[in-house]
Chain A
Amino acid sequence: MAKNKLQLPPLKNKKPVWASLGFMGLGQLLFQQQYVKGAFYTLIELLVLINSHHFIKAITGLITLGDPQPDLPIRQRPNSIFMMVEGIIFLILLALFILLYISNVRDAIKTQRNYERTGHYPGTRAFMSSLADTSFAVVGLSPAMLMILFFVVLPLVFSAMLAFTNYSSPHHIPPANTVDWVGVENFQTLAGRSLWAGAFGRTALWTVLWATLATTTCYVGGLLIALALINKNIRFPNFFRVVYILPYAVPAMLSLMVWRNLLNGQFGPINRMLMEWGWISQPIHWLSDFTLARTSMVVVNLWLGFPYFMMLITGVMTSVPKDLYEASQIDGANPRVQFFKITMPLVLYQTMPLFIMSFSYNLNNFGAVYFLTGGGPTDLATTQSGAGATDILMSWMYKLTLDLRQYNIAAVLSILVFLVIAPFAIYNFSRTKAFKEGEL
């Protein structure tokens, strides 16, 4: 700031700036002959002022979340959850307004400075052309920004805020009862109930392990099959491609439920078959043993998920220029070296973002748990907390919200999941070459 002051002389006439600071657009309108711009700013300020009672009501609502009014009929009672959403919407609008206000003051300063240097104000036409010119990015992106604000930021903020309320069954479910802010109490509850803390640790660990295993196995599996099928010695590669894509073509929910029956320890066809063949004498507890159930989950997920990476990697490999291989062959590279030095780097380079996407997806892969094992097998910690051996945080949250209707605790978990995933995803994304070089 100090440096700026040295370079630029102070404004001789500060009136327009003060006017714009007092009322948006006033400086532009009264002193600077910026009629279109000034009218726009003024109109916005007028709109906000006219609706100020809405702003005040919504934001007060967000702070108080409504007082319990048990005497009113249910339809007329304050609904804390609606008040919360409304409050957030108006907070966003307020933030937009403040940003606009700042831009208005800066514009007044800029225009004034320009005037003092050149002696005239830009006309309406010049403003319009500058709008199309320099502000194009802002104007062009604003619809998308608004969409993001209301469809991404709003729900995120809302669910994060729930973690600091007591929105839970049975005494704090709107509209009959109100919800109140409770600070960090839910976090303390989660940490304090040692039973839950244990279940949380186990579930969080398994979530990360599961996502890593599920993604890597599918990726490596897809890579191996793609490699095999691109080999010239394989006959009818397209036939095999069609066969291998089939698991991906059937709805995952259905195939998971079929797998659940296939893997049933006592009645499942897989154990029956193995016993008929005399390979085993006792049933294998595919879904009722802790480690085995987890393994089954990863294996079934591999069956479900490898076709995606197979197709993806096949596509990438066919686009690798053939002359690279020819050149390397002339230089004496064997197929092994060719694979590790040419194929792998190129494939990894192009598929890494999708690999990471798949990892984040698996962290929240609710279906794989819910339809295959339902979270089981169980132990004492499950009785206490609901979280079974194969439950990931997402499916545990689902149980908490649906069975116990502890929306507040579920929100705490979702914040924790976010804290785990977000830095990881950002770190990975920002380090991925495809993303780095995608920058302009």
Chain B
Amino acid sequence: MKKLFSILLALALMLGVTVGLAAEPVTLLVWEADGVEGDFIKKAAELFTEQNPHITFNFEGVSHTDAVQKLELDGPTGLGADLYAAPHDKLGQIVVGQLAIPLSDTGKTVLDEQFMPAAQAGVTYDGVSYGYPTAIETYALFYNKDLIPEAPKTWDEVVEFAKAYNDVASNKFAMVWEVSAPYYNYIFISAYGADLFGPEGTDQSKHDINSDAAIKGLTYFQSLREAMLPVRAEDLTYNFCSGAFSDTKTAAMYITGPWSIDGVVKAGINLGIAPIPMLPGTEQPPASFSGIRAMFVSSFSEHPEEAKAFAEFLLTPEMQKLRSDMTSTISPNVNVTSENPYFAGIMEQAGYAKPMPSIPAMDGYWSSMGPAFNNIWNGNDVKTELDAAAQVVEAIGK
């Protein structure tokens, strides 16, 4: 009798446990940017719920660049997401603030076996991987094949082309780009060998911002205004750069990234994409910043296991392919091939790219180099500006 009773009890317990596991509904909140990225995540969530009916999703449109800061404030109050998208350069902030849970062993194996080294490096900090890469991107030279059939290999060729092509009075310029954006203009710092925050991108003291190499690159940058783009930095806004390339079709070349492909093609541009031109005296295209976009599992999550399962689901080749197709971005999963004809040029530039450093001192780079590029373009002394920017970067965290 006693035995029977205990067997019954055990059965009841087991039943209770399994029923509990299967039935306990879990709702995960996901932060991803509105638009195609959000559409993808909603679609992926749908597919995941089909396989795991007890896990459902809520979606909130949060730009991936804002998510980390939002989580710092919302996480402790319980309003934060379980999963959020963030660029890899926020990793420093994520690690210092302990805002993400590291990958489990299964996730780590997938990352090591199937993903590009740059993507692995981008989501790894001091040997621990925190992010689930969903896309890799870098900027490159976009050119209008109707205006310039062959992409120039060097800046000298660009300047040469500009001499014949430019017509300032009617706003015709060979090439446009946002000259005060620290993101794009990193190419002029890196061109002659300045390596922002060292080879790993983690050494605050080796910022190289006012190194001789950077000064040389930026002096060349400054000379370009006179040579090919006599417009003040304040006027070269995103609106007018993209407008000149896509809408009025007056600019033959434009430095931008894969996120622009859709719009440019829809505008009817005969688009070609090539690596960034080489600076005089250099042997290869300058290093651009590459960005790895990744999903992170919040350390504030009430359901970390379910969230991890979904994040690992996003790493599968099927989902990576779906994302690449839906968002026109490049998947960092080596098993995914894209039919997109424009990705080749960006991939080539990605070979020279450096993952954006993710240490907190980058805050100083972003805030001081914007005005510095702006001022240098407008004619200020290169060394003075770079010294000032270096001072700001050095002061971070001191």
Minimum CB distance partner of B372 in chain A: A383
Query: CB within 8 A of A174: which of B76, B384, B389, B397?
Result: B76
Query: CB within 8 A of B231: which of A265, A386, A404?
Result: A265
Minimum CB distance partner of B236 in chain A: A266
**A285 in the interface (beta carbon within 8 A):** yes
* Segment 81-115 of B: residues with Cβ below 8 Å from A: 92-93, 96-99
- CB atoms of A380 and B384 under 8 A apart: yes
Among the stretches B116-124, B139-147, B255-263, B361-369, the one at the interface with A is B361-369
**A403 in the interface (beta carbon within 8 A):** yes
A74 to B94, CA, bound (A): 12
- Min CB distance B297 to A, Å, is 13
A-side contacts of B397, CB under 8 Å: 169-171
- CB atoms of B232 and A380 under 8 A apart: no
Interface 1/0 per residue, A379-394 and B, CB below 8 Å: 1101110101000000
Given A170-B93, A287-B235, A405-B363, A74–B371 Cβ distance below 8 Å?
no
Interface 1/0 per residue, B367-398 and A, CB below 8 Å: 11111101100101000110011011000110
**B299 in the interface (beta carbon within 8 A):** yes
Interface 1/0 per residue, B158-180 and A, CB below 8 Å: 00000000000101000000001
Query: CB within 8 A of A79: which of B76, B363, B392?
Result: B76
- CB atoms of B388 and A380 under 8 A apart: yes
- CB atoms of B98 and A265 under 8 A apart: no
- Min CB distance A372 to B, Å, is 12
* Segment 260-287 of A: residues with Cβ below 8 Å from B: 260-261, 264-268, 275, 285, 287
- CB atoms of B374 and A378 under 8 A apart: yes
- CB atoms of B385 and A380 under 8 A apart: yes
A-side contacts of B378, CB under 8 Å: 288, 377
A285 to B234, CA, bound (A): 9
Query: CB within 8 A of B367: which of A79, A82, A170, A386?
Result: A386
- Min CB distance A411 to B, Å, is 16
Interface 1/0 per residue, A393-435 and B, CB below 8 Å: 0000001001111000000000000000000000000000000
**A175 in the interface (beta carbon within 8 A):** yes
**B72 in the interface (beta carbon within 8 A):** yes
B-side contacts of A383, CB under 8 Å: 368-369, 371-372, 375, 385, 388-389, 392
**A342 in the interface (beta carbon within 8 A):** no
Interface 1/0 per residue, B124-168 and A, CB below 8 Å: 000000000000000000000000000000000000000000000
* Segment 28-73 of A: residues with Cβ below 8 Å from B: 73
- Min CB distance A193 to B, Å, is 8
A-side contacts of B367, CB under 8 Å: 386, 399, 403-404
**A305 in the interface (beta carbon within 8 A):** no
A404 to B397, CA, bound (A): 10
- Min CB distance A198 to B, Å, is 12
- CB atoms of A75 and B240 under 8 A apart: no
- Min CB distance B170 to A, Å, is 10
A82 to B74, CA, bound (A): 12
- CB atoms of B388 and A267 under 8 A apart: no
**A376 in the interface (beta carbon within 8 A):** yes
A402 to B378, CA, bound (A): 26
**B61 in the interface (beta carbon within 8 A):** no
**B244 in the interface (beta carbon within 8 A):** yes
Given A82-B76, A175-B76, A176-B97, A377–B234 Cβ distance below 8 Å?
yes
- CB atoms of B363 and A403 under 8 A apart: yes
Minimum CB distance partner of A263 in chain B: B235
- Min CB distance A76 to B, Å, is 11
Say which size band chain B's interface belongs to: 35 or more
Given A176-B96, A288-B234, A403-B363, A266–B240 Cβ distance below 8 Å?
yes
Query: CB within 8 A of A380: which of B235, B361, B370, B375?
Result: B375
A-side contacts of B97, CB under 8 Å: 173, 175-176
- CB atoms of A404 and B364 under 8 A apart: yes
- Min CB distance A217 to B, Å, is 23
A377 to B371, CA, bound (A): 9
- CB atoms of A266 and B232 under 8 A apart: yes
A-side contacts of B236, CB under 8 Å: 266
* Segment 28-77 of B: residues with Cβ below 8 Å from A: 69, 72, 75-76
**B199 in the interface (beta carbon within 8 A):** no
A191 to B366, CA, bound (A): 24
- Min CB distance A283 to B, Å, is 8
A-side contacts of B380, CB under 8 Å: 379-380
**B273 in the interface (beta carbon within 8 A):** no
- CB atoms of A267 and B240 under 8 A apart: yes
A170 to B169, CA, bound (A): 48
**B243 in the interface (beta carbon within 8 A):** yes
Interface 1/0 per residue, A238-270 and B, CB below 8 Å: 000000000000000000000011001111100
Given A267-B240, A403-B363, A384–B92 Cβ distance below 8 Å?
no
B-side contacts of A173, CB under 8 Å: 72, 96-97
- CB atoms of B98 and A267 under 8 A apart: no
A241 to B360, CA, bound (A): 53
A176 to B98, CA, bound (A): 6
* Segment 217-238 of B: residues with Cβ below 8 Å from A: 231-237
Given A285-B232, A288-B234, A388–B371 Cβ distance below 8 Å?
yes
Minimum CB distance partner of A79 in chain B: B76
Given A176-B98, A380-B388, A383-B392, A288–B371 Cβ distance below 8 Å?
no
A-side contacts of B254, CB under 8 Å: none
A384 to B299, CA, bound (A): 35
- Min CB distance B379 to A, Å, is 11
A285 to B300, CA, bound (A): 49
**B6 in the interface (beta carbon within 8 A):** no
- CB atoms of A264 and B375 under 8 A apart: no
- Min CB distance B316 to A, Å, is 29
- Min CB distance A43 to B, Å, is 32
- CB atoms of A384 and B232 under 8 A apart: no
5 extra A-B contacts, CB within 8 A, seeds A170-B396, A261-B239: A176-B96, A266-B232, A380-B385, A383-B369, A404-B364
Q: Which B residues are closer than 8 A to A by beta carbons?
A: 69, 72, 75-76, 92-93, 96-99, 169, 171, 180, 231-237, 239-240, 243-244, 299-300, 360-361, 363-364, 366-372, 374-375, 378, 380, 384-385, 388-389, 391-392, 396-397
Could you list 23 examples of A-B contacts with CB < 8 Å? Answer: A73-B299, A74-B299, A170-B92, A170-B360, A171-B96, A176-B97, A176-B99, A265-B234, A266-B235, A267-B171, A267-B244, A275-B169, A288-B232, A288-B234, A377-B378, A378-B180, A379-B371, A380-B385, A386-B367, A403-B363, A403-B366, A404-B396, A405-B69
- The list of the 3 closest CB pairs from A to B, nearest first, reads A170-B360, A288-B234, A382-B371
